Amino acid sequence: MRSRIIALLGAVVVSLSLVGAAFAEEAQMHVLREAVGVKSYPAAPRIAQQSGLDAAVTLAPAVIAVPEELEAIRVWNAADRLPARNGFFRALGDSIKVELGAAVASKSGRHGRGVVTTSSRGVAFGTSIRVEKAARLRAQLENVHLPAGAVLWVYGSSGEPVAFDASTMDEKRSLWTPSVSGETIYIEVEVGSGETASFEINRVLELLNAVKIRAGTDDAPTCLVDADVTCAQNASDFPVIANVSKAIGQIDIITSSGGGVCSGQLITDQAQTSTPYFLTANHCTITTQSVASAIEVFFDYKYLSCVSSQASALPAVRGATLLSTSATSDYTLLRLNSLPAGRVLLGWNSAAVVNGTRLHRISHPVPDGATGPEPQLYSRTIAGNTIGGNCTGAAPPNFVYSNEKNGGEGGVYGGSSGSAIMLDNGQVVGQLLGSCGPDPAAGCDRRNDTMDGAFAQTFDAIKQFIAPTTSGNTPCVPNLAAGQVCLVDNRFEVKVTYNGGSGLKSMTAIKYTGESGLFWFNDAGNIEILLKMINACSFNQRFWVYAGGTTDVEVNISVRDSKNGTIKTYQHVRGKPYGTVTDSSAFATCP
């Protein structure tokens, strides 16, 4: 969100050089045609809508009931505070408590604050909440207790129901529904026969929609006109713009004060494993697993055509795992839970940016006067020393400075935060912190400078994910406290981490036999994962990996052949019973 007004104390002259470029690492753009992690669910019963019952709770329009909330958002965004806001909480006043069990399994009709019916899979419950004049809504489910396999749906007055499950529930057993358009949100849940489920709803998040670009009081965003990505007017300067646009996501965030918005992008790892790594800014406040679990990311949010006033986006990607975050170079790295088909994972370059380098950006700004993020817009700056002065608090080499002098165009506003600066080939070299200069809140004022966290500084903190060491002849060193054991004559390094809702943590391990290891969370008497390796070189010229577990939290297994550096990874998603790994072709590295 372009948007940070750094302390105005004095000019900092920024000199960027290629120091250490000889040791730089890089990755190339990766085109991903297939969807990743997309789950299949049964159709929604739609009993809440079809029952004809009035909404369990109806709230008056915000402009009447809580005008102060609308004013608070206007003041927040006008002051260029972080992150840009697009929503606020609405308390229901009268809690909706849901309890399903054997006692209601044979009943149909009104139940509590909604309606219940039997189904082919068990029993279903539905309810609804109405917020008059609302543009978009999300509901918070608290004290959630759901059996494995339970499915929930949410939908609005129009549009298709969106299914979800408990995989994005946080450590406090709180779960946010996907967002729906309109002033009514329908919520349904279905469990199997004989199973029990319970949760309560005490508040919703009312979200504001974007409006067409228009002038504000302090800065008419004229630099955004004709910067629409669909016009592709910058193709000669940025020939990969069409592919890059498929990596850009507009992020909806639930902050402590309501809804926030930022931009971000998919990036690849060097091995091009198709893992959906997603880079944005630390100041976007996705700094805990609870916040990461509740995010929504919209890809292909674009105008329908060049110079259009209508836009569309793909269905939201919901939830992520927080991998690493720091204010030092203002970055956050996530792994998204899923991806729609047709995405592009951007390459990156860990070399420092040189003065005079042309830098490209696609972002979702919230210009003056708007209530939400714009569709994808393009901007270009040139790396160099500050021209506007008044830039402190974000010094090189942790940050890259650039401006529109000598060939720039477009601009950044609130909502652009976290968007990448890229080289001509689309490689990421930083992500947006904000602006500084005579009037940082004016995104079209060319006297300002743009500040981005330097990927050259971020790289060391995240290379374990995007550029893990794969060189051969690196011996396995056991670290039981970090969940790492060495198997099969100490050749294979096995490391296991988990995420129970509060971020990635290492499991504790013990080497049980020469070919097997046991892993647990907190109690050695409660084994969660068993993994064994089999030397089948005499059978099919492979080393096999077999694993099983007794948990429903996220589990990540990494197995490295220390003889040649080959790595295999296995991930179990949170919210489902642990299956089995039976990979009889894992390592074709015999002998």
pLDDT at 314: 94
Is the model's pLDDT at 211 over the cut of 60? no
Residues 294-329: tens digit of each pLDDT: 999 999 999 988 878 888 999 999 999 899 999 999
CATH number of 21-37+212-465: 2.40.10.120
- Give the up-direction half-sphere exposure of residue 117: CA atoms within 13 A in the CB hemisphere: 15
What residues are paired with 536 via a beta bridge? 542
Q: If you count them, how many residues does the chain have?
A: 591
Mean per-residue pLDDT, 163-172 = 88
SS3 label, residue 427: coil
Residue showing tokens 């912190």: 433
Residue 565, pLDDT score = 79
Measured CA to CA, the distance from residue 308 to residue 290 in angstroms comes to 37
- β-pairing, 358-363 vs 377-383, is antiparallel
> What pLDDT is attached to residue 37?
87
Residues 6+ apart with CB under 8 A from 64: none
% of residues, the chain, pLDDT over 90: 58
Between these two residues, 589 and 197, which has the higher pLDDT value?
A: 197
| Each residue's pLDDT tens digit, 345-401 | 999 999 999 999 999 999 999 987 777 899 999 999 999 988 777 787 788 899 999
| Token pair for 505 | 């943590």
pLDDT of residue 113: 85
- pLDDT confidence band for 407 (50 / 70 / 90): confident
Report the distance separating Cα 370 and Cα 38, nearest Å. 33
pLDDT at 413 over 60: yes
State the SS3 of 244-262: HHCCEEEEEEEECCEEEEE
- Decide: pTM greater than 0.75: yes
CA distance 470 to 489: 19
pLDDT value for 309: 80
Express as a percent the part of the chain with pLDDT over 70: 92
- Provide the pLDDT confidence category of residue 102 given band limits of 50, 70 and 90: low
CATH of 47-207, one of 2.60.120, 1.20.120, 2.40.50, 3.40.50: 2.60.120
Per-residue pLDDT at 15: 32
Residue 66 near residue 177 (C-beta atoms within 8 A): no
Quick check: 6 pLDDT over 70? no
pLDDT above 60 (res 105): no
Domain ranges in the chain are: 21-37+212-465, 47-207, 480-587
Write the CA distances from 400 to 6, 247, 392, 441, integer angstroms: 14, 22, 12, 19
68-91: average pLDDT: 91
pLDDT of res. 518:
96
In this predicted structure, what is the pLDDT of residue 168? 86
Q: Quote the pLDDT of residue 423.
A: 97
pLDDT, tens digit, 9 for 90 and up, residues 438-487: 888 888 888 899 999 999 999 999 998 999 865 566 789 999 888 899 99
Q: What is the pLDDT of residues 514-536, one digit of tens each?
A: 999 999 998 888 999 999 999 99
At 226-268, the pLDDT tens digits run 788 988 766 678 999 999 999 999 999 999 889 999 999 999 9
Is residue 260 a contact partner of residue 285, using CB atoms and an 8 Å limit? yes
Q: Where are the alpha helices (DSSP H) in 450-579?
A: 455-466, 537-540
Q: Is the pLDDT of residue 570 over 90?
A: no
For residue 147, count CB atoms less than 10 angstroms from its CB and return exposed for 0-12, middle for 13-18, buried for 19 or more.
middle
Average pLDDT of the chain is 87
Comparing 21-37+212-465 with 47-207, is the CATH topology the same?
A: no
* Structure confidence at residue 421 (pLDDT): 98
Looking at residue 34, the DSSP 8-state letter turns out to be S
